[in-house]
Structure 1
Amino acid sequence: MSAVTSPAAQAAAAKLIEAIKANVLVNYTAIGCTAFVVADYLQTLPDEIEYMWPTDWSLVKVLFILVRYYPFVHTSISTWHHGTGSLTGSKCFVPFIMDAFSCLTVTLICEAISYIRLWAFSGRNKYLLVFLVPYYTAIRGVEYYYLVKFVKSLDFLKAPAGANLGCITTKAESKLLSAVFITVLISLTSVTLLMMFIAYQRRLIAEGIGGSGSLFKLFYRDGIFYFVCLSSFAIANIICDFAAPQNGMQFIMVQVMLHTEGLIAGRMLIDLRVHARKDISTTGNLPHLLQSTTDRSRTDVEFAPYNSHVVPRVFVQVRTETASLKDY
Structure 2
Amino acid sequence: MDAVAFAELVEFGNAQRNVTYLLVASLALAMVDALHMLPDEVALIWAADWNVGKVLYLCCRYLVFVDLIPGLIYYMSRTLSVTQCQRIFAPGSILTLSGVVLAEALLYLRVYALSAGSRAVGISLGILFLGLHGAAYGFLVKFIQSLEYVPSPIPTLISCLQIKGESGRLEVVFILVLCSELVCLVLTLWILFTKYKGSKSPFVSMFYRDGLGYFLLLSAITLGNIICQLVAPPGYTVLLANPQLVLHSILATRMVLHIRGLILSGRGQGSSGAMELSSIGYAANVNLQVEASPEIPKAPGRLGGRTSH
One-letter amino acid of the counterpart of residue 199, structure 2: G
Q: How does 1:198-213 map to 2 (within 5 A)?
A: 198-204=191-197, 207-210=198-201
How far apart, CA to CA, are the structure 2 residues paired with 1:257 and 1:29? 11
Question: In the alignment, which residue of structure 2 is the partner of 1:237?
Answer: 225
Deviations 1:8-33 (A, max 9, x none): x2221121111111111112211221
Which letter maps to 2:29?
F
Give the superposed CA RMSD.
2.7
Q: Distance in 1 between matches of 2:265 and 2:86?
A: 50
Could you tell me which residue of structure 2 aligns to residue 279 of structure 1? 266
Aligned partner letter, 1:208: S
- 1:262-277 matched pairs, under 5 angstroms: 262-277=249-264
Supply the distance in 1 between the matched residues of 2:65 and 2:274 (Cα, whole angstroms): 43
Q: Which has the larger radius of gyration?
A: 1
Distance in 1, matches of 2:194 and 2:272, equals 23
CA distance in 1, matches of 2:111, 2:104: 10
Q: Unpaired runs of 5+ in structure 1?
A: 314-328
| Equivalent residue number for residue 258 of structure 1 | 245
Query: Is 1:37–1:259's contact at 8 Å kept on the other side of the alignment?
Result: yes
Distance of 1:161 and 1:242 partners within structure 2? 27
**Partner Cα separation in structure 2 for residue 27 and residue 232 of structure 1:** 21
Q: Which amino acid in 1 is paired with 2:220?
A: S
Aligned: 1:192 with 2:185:
yes
Considering Cα pairs closer than 8 Å and 6+ residues apart, tell me whether 1 or 2 has the greater RCO.
2
Tell me the TM-score normalized by structure 1.
0.81
Map 1:3-82 → 2, pairs under 5 A: 9-82=2-75
Paired residues of 2:140 and 2:169 also in contact (CA < 8 A): yes
The alpha carbon displacement at 1:240 in A equals 0.5
Task: Give, in whole Å, the separation in 1 of the partners of 2:272 and 2:172.
Answer: 51
What's the CA shift for 1:81? 2.0
* 2:211 equivalent to 1:223: yes
Q: Is the 8 A contact 2:152 2:160 kept in 1?
A: no
Distance 2:294 2:154 in 1: 63
**Cα displacement string for residues 249-300 of structure 1 (whole angstroms, at most 9, x for unaligned residues):** 11111111111111111111112111111126x87xx997358xxxx9x859
Task: Map Cα deviations across residues 220-268 of structure 1 (whole Å, 9 max, x no partner).
Answer: 22111121111101111111001011x2211111111111111111111
1-side partners of 2:82 and 2:64: how far apart? 27
The percentage of aligned residue pairs carrying the same residue is 27
Count the aligned residue pairs: 292
Stretches of structure 2 that go unaligned for 5 or more consecutive residues are 297-309
Evaluate the alpha carbon distance shift between residue 154 and residue 134 of structure 1 in structure 2; reply closer, same or farther with a 3 A threshold: same
